[in-house]
Structure 1
Amino acid sequence: MASKPKELLEELSHPGPHEVLRGNLALVGLPGVVFTPRKGLNLPAIAFGHGWLQPPGRYRDLLRHLASWGIVTAAPATQRGPLPSHRIFAADLRSTLELITGVRLGPDGISVDPAKLGLAGHSTGGGAAVLAAAGADEPKVRAVATITAAQTIPPATEAARALTIPGLHLAAEQDLVAPAVGHARAIADAWGGPVQLRTLGKSTHLAVTEGKHWSQLLLHGKPHYGTQRLVRALFTAFFLTHLTGTDQYRPLLDSDVKKATIEFDSSLDPNAA
């Protein structure tokens, strides 16, 4: 098994061993999509928050990728208008976790372990994920990862102070929509637990998104395969480490990799939380 950071990055940037199924989250009570491994019991799971004006379909490959590594991944399709409520979106992310832990999913009835839950998101969805984690009494959330996180109302920075769980925040070097200093960096600086901030080189606010969408007329940036590859690998390593307890992929989290420089790291050891 690969152990060097570069080898782990290569391994985790490719799809995992699980066949993936796509489902409609509306079938269990909320509009959106859910990707699951075909089989498995007591699986880890995350709820993913989309960015401003973005449909969940723009993250399809990322969500599918995480599911191929054994992580159930659901993305609600709510609060997609120009004036979304970040507070309600955070509540929808928490509801998503409750829904996927409360029912069997897929034709073979896979299940999610309520002790292995995480949150993730892009842009305002990243900020909403922070709000959701801070406001989640049940089910408990064990880790949060964001990409080009944006500030929210109420402030994600204030919510971050209350979080003692591990956090991973990826900022984009060329982000003109939510520049790192006032957004991802500020959230990471305020984080109450172990946290890591990385800067993705030559990356923009929309680099993680997939395909074309009319919002690109309003927002700076466009899809970028190199960024998508890095996000897939780092998110996979982060959630497998902190939701399943494996240390197999920790060397990738602990190391700089090309175009994903660690700006600071207050230790992503879950025992430090």
Structure 2
Amino acid sequence: MARAVKALTAKQALVTLSRPGPHKVLRGDLGLIGLPGVIVTPAQGLGLPAVAFGHGWLQPTRRYLGLFKHLASWGIVVAAPGTHTGALPSHRLFAADLRTALDVCTGVRLGEGDISVHPERLAVAGHSMGAGAAVLAAAEDTRIRAVVTLALAETRPSALDAAHDCAMPGLHLSAAQDLVAPTVGHVEPVAQAWAGPVQLRGITKATHLAFTEGRHWSDLLLDGRSHHTTQRLTKALATAFLLRILTGTRAYSALLEEEVRGCTIDYTRGPLPTPAHR
């Protein structure tokens, strides 16, 4: 059941959801149950929502740990496969790994057996290549209720083609200064082709790597660098969206309906649903 919280203004919701939530956070290794990667969970809870997250091209999962811990602090389990990190990844197989990560979340009691995931509260998300793979996964898996993408890059098979089969709500965050996967040629067509309710938002000062944390040798190949403001906006918007779609929490809905400083609403279609399971 969604926790009753007084509705906040967009500014209030941004401030609140930019901060860690009320839950203590645990970190584990997906490799212990057969899939390389990391899993981050609230310290306890039954029937929790979960999201499988796909990393960007050449990026290790550690570059997104701040986002994972933030979502977990707000009661959302995050599973991030550490596969296909080489120069020639298979987007199709990476999408399959995201679906396998959701299988792990729903099929195994986590922690010491006191953490479980609700099978109807599942989402996928990702950055760059991983965002495209998330769309591929969503198009083929009817369990997935929501999709969040960060600086989506087109994939093979095509995320644009897959978007036509995505009837669940989608939140797409683009980097306005992205030179690797420019909005016009990558995420904008995906958002317009989306079959379900959709919103495309542009983060004004973001580059392609703004969503990542720390430094990595791939910074020499790709445009941009880690950017605190981009990550702050991403944490708040992703948290508001996933809580709304997966748990029915409406208190932060104003953040999803209005523009905030540094983040424009570039395209939107359809109202966000409230899930039947509360």
Aligned-partner residue type, residue 260 of structure 1: C
Identity %: 59
Give deviations 1:198-247, integer Å, cap 9, x for gaps. Answer: 01011100001001100000000000000000000000000000000121
Alignment partner for residue 50 of structure 1, among 55, 60, 82? 55
Alignment partner for residue 220 of structure 1, among 218, 223, 240? 223
Q: Does 1:112 align with 2:124?
A: no
Q: Distance in 2 between matches of 1:269 and 1:95?
A: 27
Aligned-partner residue type, residue 159 of structure 2: A
Aligned-partner residue type, residue 184 of structure 2: V
Does the 8 Å contact 1:147/1:170 carry over to 2? yes
Runs of 4+ residues deviating >4 angstroms: none
Structure 2 partner of 1:241? 244
Structure 2 partner of 1:26? 31
Which 5+ residue runs of structure 1 have no aligned equivalent? none
Q: Does 1:125 align with 2:134?
A: no
Q: Output the TM-score relative to the length of structure 2.
A: 0.95
Paired positions, count? 270
Alignment partner for residue 167 of structure 1, among 154, 160, 170? 170
- Map 1:1-273; keep pairs closer than 5 Å: 1=6, 3-137=8-142, 140-270=143-273
Aligned-partner residue type, residue 244 of structure 1: T
Give deviations 1:47-94, integer Å, cap 9, x for gaps. Answer: 000000000000000000000000000100001110100000000000
Q: Distance in 1 between matches of 2:271 and 2:37?
A: 31
Q: Secondary structure at the match of 1:180?
A: coil
Q: Distance in 1 between matches of 2:51 and 2:272?
A: 19
Q: Distance in 2 between matches of 1:189 and 1:67?
A: 30
Q: Distance in 2 between matches of 1:194 and 1:73?
A: 23
Q: Output the TM-score relative to the length of structure 1.
A: 0.97
Farther-moved stretch of structure 1 (69-78 vs 248-257) = 248-257
Q: Distance in 2 between matches of 1:24 and 1:197?
A: 33
- Two-structure CA RMSD over aligned residues (Å): 1.1
Q: Distance in 2 between matches of 1:258 and 1:195?
A: 20
Q: Distance in 1 between matches of 2:262 and 2:213?
A: 19
Which 5+ residue runs of structure 2 have no aligned equivalent? 1-5
Does the 8 Å contact 1:199/1:260 carry over to 2? yes
Q: Secondary structure at the match of 2:12?
A: helix
Aligned-partner residue type, residue 92 of structure 2: R
Does the 8 Å contact 2:39/2:78 carry over to 1? yes
Q: Distance in 2 between matches of 1:233 and 1:14?
A: 8
Aligned-partner residue type, residue 110 of structure 1: I
Aligned-partner residue type, residue 253 of structure 2: R
Q: Distance in 2 between matches of 1:187 and 1:263?
A: 13
Q: Secondary structure at the match of 1:229?
A: helix
Instruction: Report the Cα offset of residue 2 of structure 1.
Output: 5.7
Q: Secondary structure at the match of 1:62?
A: helix
Structure 1 partner of 2:3? none
Give deviations 1:109-151, integer Å, cap 9, x for gaps. Answer: 20000100000000000000000001114xx000000010000
